[in-house]
Amino acid sequence: MLEVKGLKKIFTSGFLPRTRIKAVDDVSFHIEKGETLGIVGESGSGKSTLGQCILRLIEPTAGKIIFNGIELTALDNKALNNIRPCMQMIFQDPDSSLDPKMTIGQSIAEPLKLKGNNREAVKSRVLELIRQVGLSPEHVNRFPYQLSGGQNQRAVIARALALKPVFIVADEPTASLDISVQAQILNLLRHLKEKYALTMLFISHDLELIKHMCDRVAVMYRGKIVETGKIEDIFHSPLHPYTQLLLAEEADSEVNVSEIKKTLRTTCPYYQECLLRSEICLTKTPELKELKNQLVACHHVLEKSTQQPYQDRYAGKTGVTSDQLVA
């Protein structure tokens, strides 16, 4: 369904000196039809940029995106607009996704009208979508400020589904909602995904959400994928030291992984924080390679055949016992 090859996005800003930020750095992966791939990583690791590059809401600097056999990165705007209805994005904040001057019904109707549907067809489809996302007809004529955050996010989902997409990028779709509403929206997404056999890229910094929503996960660090594999494999036996630390952080909230020291750039993006680093990490960029059931980019993990279980390695650092981590 979707193949991403060597994707890069470099942002430049300022004058003399110009700053270059490698937000996405040579990322490759695929997503099968009907599958949900999670992208996890801390703030600034490039998750949102990756999601937006895939839909070409941001132009990638290099690389290829192939969707159902069509190379999106080679399309002009007209051809891209023809394909856009098949691919939709759900953003984190429903308030900035919905036009405050439009009613919920008008927002959901907008893509249908742009596609040339007549008035009656638009009206009945809007009502159908409203029902599918768990809103009621009385919400159609309300403005976003007259609904709760969760209801607005339901409306955003309804609009995203209006043109019957097959691929959805959901970028932290519950991050701005109350905890009590988050589960409802996640369950709605899961239900709709199954009902319409949607393929999904699900972006989150929260491993628990990724576990709940995804079939596979790719772990991003400083613009690169450092490890990818099935949910059960990554959660049971993470190979990359950064994945291990993320999981250890989940087990012990006192470890703050996001305290990243930002200065040193080396060949391995995780070098500065890594407990296992050595000479080779400074001289040779680790590439994603197959090990056990995962793909992992770490010289140490790949070169050492016998691994100390990650729980033991991190137990000292996090102050919890390996038994607690396994539990």
Ligand X SMILES: Nc1ncnc2c1ncn2[C@@H]1O[C@H](COP(=O)(O)OP(=O)(O)OP(=O)(O)O)[C@@H](O)[C@H]1O
Enter the tokens of residue 125. Answer: 């489809």
Alpha-carbon distance of 289 to 234, in angstroms, equals: 15
Nearer to ligand X, 14 or 69 (CB): 14
Alpha-carbon distance of 8 to 237, in angstroms, equals: 29
Shortest Å distance, C-beta 256 to ligand X: 15
Four-residue CA torsion sign, 203, 208, 213, 218: positive
Rounded (5°) CA angle 239-34-98: 100
Shortest Å distance, C-beta 149 to ligand X: 18
Shortest Å distance, C-beta 109 to ligand X: 30
Nearer to ligand X, 52 or 103 (CB): 52
Shortest Å distance, C-beta 259 to ligand X: 15
Residue 7's beta-bridge partner residues? 27
CB neighbourhood size of 13 (10 A): 8
Nearer to ligand X, 26 or 110 (CB): 26
Nearer to ligand X, 258 or 324 (CB): 258
Sheet holding 289-291, edge to edge: 87-90, 167-171, 199-204, 36-40, 216-221, 224-230, 294-296, 289-291
For binding to ligand X (CB under 6 A), which residues are involved?
11, 13, 21, 23, 41, 43-49, 205
Counted residue by residue, the chain has a size of 327
Q: Is-contact 295 228, C-beta < 8 A?
A: yes
Shortest Å distance, C-beta 292 to ligand X: 26
Question: Which residue, among 50, 68, 52, 56, has the nearest Cα to 8 in the 3D structure?
Answer: 50
Contacts of 217 (CB under 8 A, 6+ apart): 37, 38, 39, 40, 210, 228, 229, 231, 234
Nearer to ligand X, 41 or 94 (CB): 41
Rounded (5°) CA angle 293-297-303: 80
Nearer to ligand X, 205 or 216 (CB): 205
Nearer to ligand X, 11 or 290 (CB): 11
Shortest Å distance, C-beta 126 to ligand X: 31
Shortest Å distance, C-beta 104 to ligand X: 26
Nearer to ligand X, 27 or 31 (CB): 27
Nearer to ligand X, 18 or 195 (CB): 18
Shortest Å distance, C-beta 92 to ligand X: 8
Q: Which SS3 state, helix, strand or coil, does residue 140 take?
A: coil
The full DSSP string for 148-170 is -HHHHHHHHHHHHHTT--SEEEE
Rounded (5°) CA angle 65-69-70: 60
Enter the tokens of residue 6. Answer: 């060597």
Shortest Å distance, C-beta 34 to ligand X: 25
